[in-house]
Amino acid sequence: MTKPGELQTVAVLVPGHFNDHAVERIDRTFKRVRIERADPALVTDEMRRDVRAIASFAGIDAAMMDALPNLELIASFGVGYDSVDAGHAAKKNIMVTNTPDVLTEEVADTTIGLLINTVREMYVAEKWLRDGDWVRKGHYPLSRLTLRGRRVGIFGMGRIGLAVARRIEAFGLPIAYHNRRKVERLSYQYHATLKGLAEAVDTLICIAPGGAATEKAINAEVLSALGSNGVLVNIGRGSTVDEAALAAALKNGTIAAAGLDVFADEPNVPQALLDAPNVSLLPHVGSASEHTRRAMADLCVDNLVAWFGERRPLTPVPETVNVKARA
């Protein structure tokens, strides 16, 4: 256990841009070491000797971990941590933490906003007003889609999925879901396959984590199963959607519309999606309020403090729950 005053000797590597509030807390509590990006080629001999933790938005791969022999903890900012090689971290006895729960309600709120925006074309209707078309052309055309009568499927019934489902219930819409496994004591209809879920609903909300297991899981087959009245909302990870297949489905009427907050190669959005008139696009703002990002920053740094002050993590990821603090 490290005494509070001794925490200032613990070197914490912060690659690239990081949350300002988190940086302020790290500077007050630890010895911050800055690096342009998480690149092993940029690691100096001093970093190899001193760095015991990383606090980062960005992905931390196996090579970066291997470049820091005294690394004990990776405090990842965000609930998703697919860009961190947690499996390799576990093998190296490196703890990985993330920031769950504190962003759940904010992301669920954004999900509902994006769904309504997509179905009722709020983004286009506001542009109609701002461009003066209400004066020149009259009322905005009736939206082709509505939430009324929809059946909603959730891909990824974790903390955020459950929060979204509670909000969907308020609209009086039936809910089904697909997970790797059925959630015990949950009354929503479970589908063992994603295609089966898509066939049973007309509104698919993706909150699934990234990674190899979900890579392009929402493909042409799933979109076809969703149907011509179908709406896709993705607020999980861009990698879960085959973006080329989605662009084609939007263009040829395989589905009716989509709302996307995440993309496979951020911040680069495929031109075909930018050009599509029936898609609502957001720049990955699911948890992006000052209130929630501050809470995430606090949890990120609190994990650092707990690990080096009490030799325990607050929110370890499943892959590293058995990692023990070094003597």
Catalytically annotated residues: 237, 266, 284
CB crowding 155-194: b at 16 or more within 10 Å, else e: bbbbbbbbbbbeebeeeebebbbbbeeeeeeeebebbeeb
DSSP annotation of 142: P
Q: What angle do CA 199, 204, 205 make, to 5 degrees?
A: 155
Nearest to 147 by CA among 205, 195, 197, 107: 205
Q: Which residue has the tokens 């905005």?
A: 140
Mapping DSSP to helix (H, G, I), strand (E, B) and coil, where does residue 31 land? strand
Nearest to 119 by CA among 238, 229, 237: 229
* CA-to-CA separations, 278 to 79, 145, 155, 256, 281, in angstroms, rounded: 29, 11, 22, 7, 10
Mapping DSSP to helix (H, G, I), strand (E, B) and coil, where does residue 95 land? strand
Structure tokens at 286: 């699911």
DSSP letters, 263-322, are: -TBTTB--HHHHH-TTEEE--S-TT-SHHHHHHHHHHHHHHHHHHHHHS--SSB-GGGTT
Structure tokens at 267: 């911040």
Q: Find the radius of gyration of the CA atoms of the chain.
A: 22
**Do 14 and 53 meet the contact criterion of CB atoms below 8 Å apart?**
no
H/E stretch holding 73: strand 73-76
